[in-house]
Structures are given as C-alpha cells and as structure tokens.
A and B are shown apart, each in its own frame.
Chain A
C-alpha cells in the first residue's frame, strides 16, 4: 500500500515542476486483453502488459498553439524515444488441438 501511495505522491508532486523548458516525457501504461476464440483451435485467454517509455525532445515543448497532447506536432519538435514492455499471457483451459 505504501508503494502505491508513494507512486501517487510522486505523480502529483510533478505539479510543482517548472512548466517551462520541458524536454523529457516519460510514460507508463498498463493494458489488459481478454480474447475469445470461436472454435477449439486455441483456448480463450487473458493477458496483461506493462510498458514504460521515455521521449527526449531536442527543443522544449511549446503549449502556446494547440492542445497539450499535440504540443510536439504543433512545435515540430525533433525527438528520440525508447520503451520497454513486459507482459504475461494466460490461456483459459486447455483446448489446443
């Protein structure tokens, strides 16, 4: 529980970061997938995936023109990015031929 609280506190602490000269964007996402098959070719399954990534913009993002989500598109920012994800696949039952 302490871990979750610390994570939440760290996220909201970013409100105190300076709003100018932003060059780095980090992201974290969690995805759940539920899959059903019509015939006994493969078992139905669930899976999850955690992904973490970072993008470095060679020039600071500018929020003066468009939506925050499109700042890099409006600003024509050069960037490099890398991400890593880890997931697990869980079949439901054993219906494989």
Chain B
C-alpha cells in the first residue's frame, strides 16, 4: 500500500508505504517493510527527496535505509522527452556491516507514448558487492492502455561466493 500528498502551491510532498511479504516453505517467515519520504518540487519538473525505509525480516534481521534522491524530466523538442534520477542510500544493517547503495536511471521518450530506459545500481554491504543493471520499456497504445517490459541483471559477489540473477518482467496498465 502506498499513498502520497503534494501541496500544489509550494511543491512540498510526502509519501508513505507499507509492504508485507509472507514466505510459505518448510518454515514460515514474514518480512514487513514500511517507510516514507519528504521532498519538494524545486522546479516544475525536478524534485529532491529524503526517504526512510525500515525492513523487519524474520531471517535477515531488521534493517533501515536512508535515501537522498532527485528526479528530473525535460522536453528536448518535437514532443521528445527524457528523465533522469539519482539516489544514494545509507544501509543500516543489523546482522552485518553497514553499507551504501547508489542508483542511476534514465528514460528517453521519442514520443509521448513510448519510453525506453536504462538503470543501474551498486551496493556494498558487509563483505558483499552487488551490481544491478537493466533496461525498461513502456508503450502506451492510447491514454487508456499500456504495455511494458523490463530486463534486470543482478551480480552479487562476496568472499569467494557469487550469485547471478536474470529477471524478465512483462506488464500492462489500464487507466479508466
């Protein structure tokens, strides 16, 4: 669940979210995440925000994330646009050394209906280094219907141990 509020005159905004994950295996576990952010439109299409996210996990312990982020969108002529976002987070970990996360993302819109983007992130937590990168695309057939797809690659390396994941996502949006 998520909600946001924006004060139209000043551009200040706040949002809050809550997420619960239940894992049903040979043992049951639950993860609860909650947090929010406060920020401001410092220009018509530019925002900066400060966020906090708390994760309470039966298996991995309780962790907190403090994030400073910005996002900017701009027209570059002929109904073409681009956006770009940058975020840096401090990761307060209960069961391993604290770490940090740096995220970059940008999307190019050759028309108002189509967006193609790239994103990447690097995290260092405890003894672990994680690179995440991928591509996204979304096409609006019209104002009511959109299709999107994305690919994300995760490479995680620790002391003599590595994990590699490929995530393929397909989705649709309907607006009424």
Listed in ascending order, the chain A residues whose CB lies under 8 Å from chain B are 11-12, 14-15, 17, 19, 22-39, 41, 51, 61, 63, 66-70, 73-74, 76-83, 89
Stretch at the interface among B29-37, B90-98, B121-129, B135-143: B135-143
The yes or no answer to B172 lying at the interface (CB within 8 A) is yes
From known contacts A63-B143, A76-B41, infer whether A38 and B162 are also in contact, taking CB-CB under 8 Å: yes
Q: Which of B93-130 contact A (CB under 8 A)?
A: 107, 109, 112-113, 115
Contact present for B6 and A17 (CB under 8 Å): no
Residue of B1, B8, B71, B163 near A36 (CB, 8 A) is B163
Contact present for B161 and A39 (CB under 8 Å): yes
Q: Give 11 pairs: A residue, B residue, CB < 8 Å, sorted on A.
A: A14-B176, A15-B145, A25-B174, A27-B173, A27-B174, A34-B165, A35-B164, A35-B165, A69-B107, A76-B11, A81-B3
Provide the residues of chain B in CB contact with A34, threshold 8 Å.
165-166
Contacts across chains A and B counted by CB atoms under 8 Å: 135
The yes or no answer to B84 lying at the interface (CB within 8 A) is no
Contact present for A66 and B73 (CB under 8 Å): yes
Per the bound structure, the CA–CA distance linking A28 and B162 in Å amounts to: 32
Q: In the assembled complex, how far is the CB of residue A35 from the closest CB belonging to chain B, in whole angstroms?
A: 4
Q: In the assembled complex, how far is the CB of residue B45 from the closest CB belonging to chain A, in whole angstroms?
A: 7
Contact present for B138 and A69 (CB under 8 Å): yes
- Sorted nearest first, the 7 A-B pairs with minimum C-beta distance are A29-B171, A38-B162, A31-B169, A68-B140, A80-B3, A14-B144, A67-B109
Contact present for B165 and A33 (CB under 8 Å): yes
Contact present for B174 and A31 (CB under 8 Å): no
Contact present for B112 and A80 (CB under 8 Å): no
